[in-house]
Chains A and B, each alone.
Chain A
Amino acid sequence: MTHNEAIVITGLGAIAPNGIGLDAFWENTVNGVSGIRDVTSLVHAKRENKRGGEIPDFKVTDLVEIPDSEAFGRATQLSLAAATMALKDSGLEPAEWQAMRTGVYLGTTMGESQLAESFNRHFPEGQSEASLRYYPSNMMPAMVSISLGLKGPSGLIPTACAAGNYAIGYAFDMLQSGRADCMLAGGADPWSLIAYEGFSAMFAISPDCCRPFDRDRSGILISEGAALLVLESEKRARARGARIYARLAGYGIGADGYHMTGPHPEGRGGIQAGRNALRSARISPDEVDYVSAHGTGTQANDKTETLIVKSLLGDRAKRVPVSSIKSMIGHTMGAASALEAVVSVKALETGVIPPTVNFQNPDPECDLDVVPNVARRIHPEVVMSNSFAFGGNCATVIFQKYGG
C-alpha cells in the first residue's frame, strides 16, 4: 500500500448502555433513549448517587463463540464482542481477516479494573487470583488477537477518556504506513467501582442524569461499553466489494499539560488536537458540518469545549450542530470516543445527527447549537469528533462522507 491512501470504515460494532449491537445502539441514540439506570453493584453502597450506565444484559457468550471467553476480564469480553460484531458487519470472513495482517488497537481508561476490585474483595480465596492473569493492560488486545486469530499490530492505548480516538488514529497510521492491511480500532471499559469512587470523591458525579451544555449540568455518570470500527484502505475495500460507511479523513492529538483532572481553561490541548486533525485530514474548518462533542456534562468540560469549538470553527461555531450522546449513555470512559466515532460514521451514512437530551436551560457560556432533545436530519459531509481526558490527553478524529 502506498502512503496516504484513503482509509475507509467498513464495519461497526457497538455495545452501549442504551443498546447492544449497532442497530439497537443507533436507533436508541437518534431517538433519545437513555440507558441510565440504578447500578446493581451500588444497591448496597452508602453513597446516594446510584445511577450509571451498566449493561446488565451483556453476556459475552451470547455474542461470540470463543471457548473460555467468560473467564476473561469484562473489558476484554466487551472488546471481543464488539470486535466480532464489527468484523461480521464488514462482511469479512474469518479466513479472510486471518489471512491478512489484521490488527487491533483498543483504548481504555480503567482496563480490567473489575479484576482488581474482585481481587481486593476476595483475596486469598482462589478464584480471583487466577483471573488476575488477565489484569495486565496489554492482555485486552492480546486476548482479542488470540481469540480472533489476528496477526497484525496489537496494542492497548490507555489514554483515558480520549483513548478510543487515539486508537483510531494509530490504526490509521498503521494502515497508511503499510504495516497492516486491516485494523480494528476503538475502545472499551467495564463499569468500575474505582472510577465511581474516584469521580465521587471529586464531586463530579451527577445525582440523576447527565445534562451536557445545560446551565444546570451537574456532572458525569459512570458507564460501560465498547465500540470497534473496521478500517481498511479504500482500494482493498473496493476490491472486495465491501460496503463503505465513510472515510476516516485524519486525526490529531494534543495535550493540556496543565492539570491531571481539570481541563486547561482555554482548552489548549483540545484546540491543538483539532488543528492537527484538520491539518491531517486536509479539511478546512468551514467544511465541518457536525461536531460529536466530548460533552461530559461537567461545568468545566462543557465550558472549555465551547471555547475549543469556537476556536476551531471561528464565526461558524454557533451555527454548526454540536451534540453529546453522553446525555443518553453516560460516560463510557475509554469506549466513549469509540462509540462517538460510530455515531459520527452513522450520521454520515444516514444524514441524521443525534440529540443532546436532558437539555432544558441554555448556558450563556455554552452558546452552541447543541441539538437539544431531538435528532436532526442535516446530511453532514464532514464530522469532527472530539475527546478530552484526564491527564490532558486530547484527540480528535475527522470522518468524511464517502462518495464512491
Chain B
Amino acid sequence: MDHRAVGISGVGVVAPFGIGSGKWFFAKPPAGPSIHPWSYQARSSDAMGLAATVRDFEPKQHLPRKGLRNLNNAINFARIATNCAVEDAALVLRELDPARVGIALGTNLSCADHMFRFDRDALEGFVDPLHFPNTGISSPACQVSVFEGLHGLTSTFSSGHGASLDALQFAVTSLLRGDVDVMIAGGVEAMCPDLQHPTLTKSRHWLDLAHQSNTWPGPFQTDHEAAILGEGCVCFILERLETMTARGVCPLALVAGYATGFDPGAYATGSPDEVAMATLIEEALDRAGIAPRQVDLVISGAQGMPSLDQAEARALGKVLNGNQAPTAIPSSQLGDTQGATGAFLAAWATSAFQNRKVMGYAPRGSSTLDLVHGERSGSFHNCLLTAFGAMGDRTAMVLQLPH
C-alpha cells in the first residue's frame, strides 16, 4: 500500500536560516549552521546558551494581522509553512474542495509555552478564554485548519523525533484510503523557555539530556556530547501520483517506505539496541522495495548523544554493509528540533533530489560513516531517513526521486 503511490508536490519551510517555499529552499540551502547565543527569558534575563532559533520572527510580515495577537510561534510557523508549501505546489487553497484537504503535523512541545503562561494567568486571577484552545498540543494543525477552512481531516502526532514522519505516513494512508485528495503534513516545534530553562537542562533534569550546551553539537562524535535546541517547521503537500499527473505537476519526492518501533531498554540502560535499529531500517527499505546497496543518501536525525549515535552508526553499517552512502545531519545546523526533526530530514532529502547536492556541517573527526561536511554533489535517488530518539522512539522512512 505504501509503495510510491503518493508524492510530495510542495514544501514550505520556517527555519533559523530563513522562511520560504521549496523553490527558495532548494535554490538557497543553508550556507552554514544557524546556531547562535540565545537567552532563556522566561525566568532569568541573563541565562544564555546556544540554540538555533528563528530570530527576529515577525509573524505579521508573513500573515494577515487578524487574530495574530492570540497565536503563538508554533501556530504561526505552521500557518506560514503551509502557505509556502501550497504556493510551492502550485495550488490555490480556495480553489480546492476544502472537504478533501487535510492536515497532520508532528510536534512534541510546540504549545507548551502557551500552557505554562495560561496557568500563570490563572494564578494571577484572570485568563483570556481566547488563549485556552492554544494550550492544546494539536492547536497548530487545528489553527491551520480553522484559518484556511479546511475540513478534510486534522491530526497531530507526538511520538518523539519521528513524530513528523508519522504524520507523513498518516498522510500517505489517508490519501490512499481516499479520505482526502490533498494532505498538508510535516512537523513544527517552537521554543518553550520554561521547559528549556538552563537550570533544568544543565542539571540534566529535562529528559536527562544535556540539551543546553555552550559547545557545538557533535552528532556521531564519540567523545563529544552536546545537543542544542532548535525550532522551526516544515510542511509538505502530498498528493496521489494520479492527482499530480492530472494537474501536470511532477512530484519532488515519493514516500516509498516507513517503519516505526520502540526500544524500551534504551532509556533505562543507556545502551540502545542496535540490532533492533538495523531491523527497523531493513523494514523501511523492504517496504520501499529497495536493496540496501541502492541507498545513495542517508539523512540522520542524530542529535549528538554518543551512545545513541554510535548505535545508529553501527546499525547503518550493518544494514548498508559496505555501501558508504553519504550521511548528512541537519541537527548540526538546526539543533534538536524535536517533533519537527523528521520533517526537516525529509526537507533535506527533497532538496538533495532537486539540487543534486546535499549540505551538511557534521563536526570533523572520526566516524565510521561518510559524514557530509559542506556541500556534497551527487545524483541521489534513494534516501533513507532515520529518526531515533533518546527515549527509545525509532522511526525510519525512505524517500525516492521520481523517475
Binding site for B on A (CB under 8 A): 3, 101, 103, 108-111, 113, 116-117, 119-121, 123-124, 129-130, 132-133, 135-139, 141-142, 145-146, 148-160, 166, 170, 173, 177, 179, 193-194, 197-199, 201-202, 252-261, 264, 268-269, 272-273, 276, 280, 390-393
Contacts and interface: CB of A to CB of B under 8 A. Distances in A.
Contacts of B137: 108, 111, 137, 156, 158
Contact of B205 (A132, A146, A166, A199): A132
B203 to A, nearest CB: 7
Given A150-B262, A151-B263, 14 more contacts: A111-B137, A113-B115, A135-B195, A152-B262, A154-B261, A156-B137, A158-B138, A193-B119, A194-B119, A253-B155, A255-B153, A257-B98, A257-B150, A276-B153
B99 A272 contact: yes
Contacts of B148: 257
Interface in B246-290: 259-265, 267-268, 276
By CB atoms of chain B within 10 A, which of A146, A154, A177 has the most? A154
A116 B116 contact: yes
3 A-B pairs closest in CB distance: A391-B142, A155-B159, A257-B151
B207 interface: yes
B288 to A, nearest CB: 14
Contacts of B159: 138, 141, 153-156
Contacts, number: 238
Contact of A201 (B127, B267, B276): B127
B173 interface: yes
A117 B339 CA distance: 23
Given A117-B119, A156-B159, A145 B142 contact: no
A140 to B, nearest CB: 8
Interface stretch (B128-136, B222-230, B318-326, B352-360): B128-136
Nearest to B139: A391
Contacts of B210: none
B187 to A, nearest CB: 12
Q: Is the interface on chain B under 10, 10 to 19, 20 to 34, or 35 or more residues?
A: 35 or more
A142 B392 contact: yes
Nearest to A158: B137
Contacts of B43: 123-124
A144 to B, nearest CB: 10
A392 B138 CA distance: 10
B149 interface: yes
A120 B129 contact: no
B208 interface: yes
B127 A124 contact: no
B1 to A, nearest CB: 6
A384 to B, nearest CB: 17
Contacts of A264: 151
A118 to B, nearest CB: 10
Given A260-B146, A392-B142, A138 B163 contact: yes
A44 B174 CA distance: 48
Contacts of A110: 115, 135-136
A120 B116 CA distance: 7
Nearest to B101: A257
A4 B322 CA distance: 38
